[in-house]
Chain A
Amino acid sequence: MKLSKNFTNPLAANNPIIVQILGICSALAVTVKMEPALVMGLSVTFVAAFSNLIMSLLRNGVPSRIRIIVQLVVIATLVIVVDQFLKAFMYDVSKQLSVYVGLIITNCIVMGRVEAYALGNKPWDSFVDGVANGLGYAFILVLVAFFREFFGSGQLFGMQVLGDWYTPNSLMLFPPMALIIVGCIIWVHRSFNKDLQEK
C-alpha cells in the first residue's frame, strides 16, 4: 500500500516539476525536441533511482557531517556512467544534450530526494521513490517537448506529422515558451487539484 503510493505520488500529486518547481532549468533547455527530452528524463530517472539506492544502503555508515560530499561522489559517478553510455551508444542525442547531461549532478531533484528520502528510508523504498520522481520529471519533460516540437516544427520524434499547410511557430523553439507551457500545465493541474491552490 505504502509502496504504491510512494510510486504514484511523485507522478502527479507531488510532481517534482509542476508542484515542487524543481529542475526547471533543464526542462527549458532540453525540450525543443521529444527525443532528447525522453533520453534526458530516463537519464535523470536512472541517476535518481540508483543514487537513492546507494545512499540508502550507506545511510547508517556515513557521518552526517560529510554526507553532502559522499552524496556528490555517488551522484557524480552515476552521471559519468550515464554520460559515457550516451556517448557510446547514442552519440547524436548526446551531442544535442551537450552539457545538460553533466548538469544532472546539480539537478535539485536528485539531491533533494537523497536528502529528503533516501537518508531516512530502506533501500527498496528509496529506489522506488527515485524511479517515481525521475519518471514524474520525465513525464513533464516529454509533455512540454511534445507541444514544442509539434507546434514549433510540425514534427514528432523528428518525423514530419503536419503537412506543408502548417506554418511552424518559431516562438515554440525559444526557451521562454517552455516556461509558458510549464506554467499552463501547472494551471491545468491546479484547477483539478483544489488542495494545491494557494489562497
Chain B
Amino acid sequence: MGLRNFVDKIKPTFSKGGKLSFLHSTFEGFETFLFVPNTTTKKGAHIRDCNDIKRVMIVVVLALIPALLFGMWNIGYFAGKTGLSAFWFGFLEVLPMIIVSYVVGLSIEFAFAQKRGHEINEGFLVTGLLIPMIMPIGVPLWIVGLSTAFAVIIGKEVFGGTGMNVFNPALLARAFAFFAYTPHMSGEKVWYAVDGVSGATALDYMGQPGATMEGFSACDAFLGTIPGCVGETSTLAILLGAALLLFTGVASWRIMLSVFLGGLAFGYLFDITGWTEYPAYYHLLVGGFAFGAVFMATDPVTSAQTNTGKWIYGFMVGALAVCVRVMNPAYPEGMMLAILFMNALAPLIDYFVVERNVARRKRLIKNVK
C-alpha cells in the first residue's frame, strides 16, 4: 500500500489552505482514478452500488479493445503485411492518434474543471479512445487534435461538462473533421494512404454507380477484412464488445436492437423497391453501422431516456443511417449524421413519451371515478 500512503501524505498540500490547493480537482481526479473514493454521501437516501462513472467507463473501454486490436491488425493487413508484423504496423499507425486525442482532450477537460472548481469527470476516457477509432487511417494528427478540441469545448464544456452534452462528443469530433477537412476524410484517396497503398472504403465503393456485390463479400465485411476507419471494420469484434456491454448492463439492449431493426427494415424497403441492389443485412456489416449502433447510439447521456423513447430513437437512427447512405451520394456514411440528428431529437421523443404516459394515467383516474 505504498501508493496509498503516498497519496495520503501529499493530500494536505492540495486540500483547502494547502500550498497547491488551486490544483485541487486535478489531485482529486488522480486520486479517485487510483482508488475507490472512501467518502460517502452525507444526506438523503441513496442506493449503494460499487459502480461509479469510472467503472462504467472502464467497462466501455474494455469493450472497445477487441475492435481496436482487430483494427490495428487490419491496417497492416491492407498495407500488405501478415501476422504479428501487420499488427505492429497498425499499432504504430494508431498509437499517435490515441495519444494526441487523449492529451488534447484531457488537458482541456482538466483546465475547465480547474477553472470552474468542480471535479474531473471520466467521460473523456471513452471519448478519447472513440475518436481515433472513427477516424480514417493516415489522417494528419493535427486534424485529430483540432477535432478533439472542438468536440470537447463546443460539444461538451459549453453545455456544462460530462453528462450535460446534447451531442455525442466523439461523433462531433468526426463531424467537425468531416465537414472541415472533407478531402482528408472521405473519398477514394484517403484510406490507407500509408506506403502508397490507397483505396476506397466499401461504403465509397457502394456509393459509386454500377457497383456490384463482388466488391467486398458479406463474409469479409462481417470478419472485418475490409478497408475503413480503425475500429469500425470488424462486425465480429464489435459484437464481442457489445456482448460485454450488454452483460454488464452498461449499454441499453433496447437501443442496440432497435438500431439494427431500423437499419434492416429500411434496407429491406430499399432493396425491394429497387433503390439499391444490396440486401438489407449488408448495410449492417459495412461501414460504421455496427460500431455506431453498439458504442455511439447507446451513449446514455445523449440517447433517449425512456424505454419507449429508446425504441423510437434506435429505430430512427438505423432507418436514417440507411436512408442517408442510399439516397444521398454525397455522404457515403450515414451513421454519423443519423446519430447526431437523433441526439438532437432525443429530448423531444422523451417529452412526448412522458406526456403520453401522463395522459394515460389521467384517463385511468377518470375511469376509476
Cβ B180 vs Cβ A169 within 8 A: yes
Q: Which of B154, B158, B181 contacts A170 (CB 8 A)?
A: B181
Give B72 Cβ to nearest chain A Cβ, in Å: 27
Is B217 in the interface zone, CB < 8 Å from A?
A: no
Q: Which of A170, A172, A183 contacts B182 (CB 8 A)?
A: A170
Is B176 in the interface zone, CB < 8 Å from A?
A: yes
Contact flags B130-162 to A (C-beta < 8 A → 1, else 0)? 000000000000000000000000100010000
Cβ A171 vs Cβ B176 within 8 A: yes
Cβ A172 vs Cβ B158 within 8 A: no
Which A residues are closer than 8 A to B by beta carbons?
167, 169-172, 174, 180, 183, 187
CB-CB nearest in chain A for B146: A169
Contacts of A180 in B (CB 8 A): 154
Cβ A172 vs Cβ B180 within 8 A: yes
Give B233 Cβ to nearest chain A Cβ, in Å: 26
Cβ B154 vs Cβ A174 within 8 A: no
Cβ B179 vs Cβ A171 within 8 A: yes
CB-CB nearest in chain A for B180: A171
Contacts of B154 in A (CB 8 A): 180
Alpha-carbon distance between A168 and B36 when the two chains are bound, in angstroms: 46
Cβ B181 vs Cβ A174 within 8 A: no
Contacts of A183 in B (CB 8 A): 158
Contacts of A170 in B (CB 8 A): 179-182
Alpha-carbon distance between A170 and B182 when the two chains are bound, in angstroms: 8
Give A196 Cβ to nearest chain B Cβ, in Å: 16
CB-CB nearest in chain B for A187: B158
Supply 16 A–B pairs (Cβ within 8 Å), ascending by A.
A167-B181, A167-B184, A169-B180, A169-B181, A170-B179, A170-B180, A170-B181, A170-B182, A171-B176, A171-B179, A171-B180, A172-B180, A174-B179, A180-B154, A183-B158, A187-B158
CB neighbors of A among B18-51 (8 A):
none
Contacts of B182 in A (CB 8 A): 170
Contacts of B184 in A (CB 8 A): 167
Contacts of B180 in A (CB 8 A): 169-172
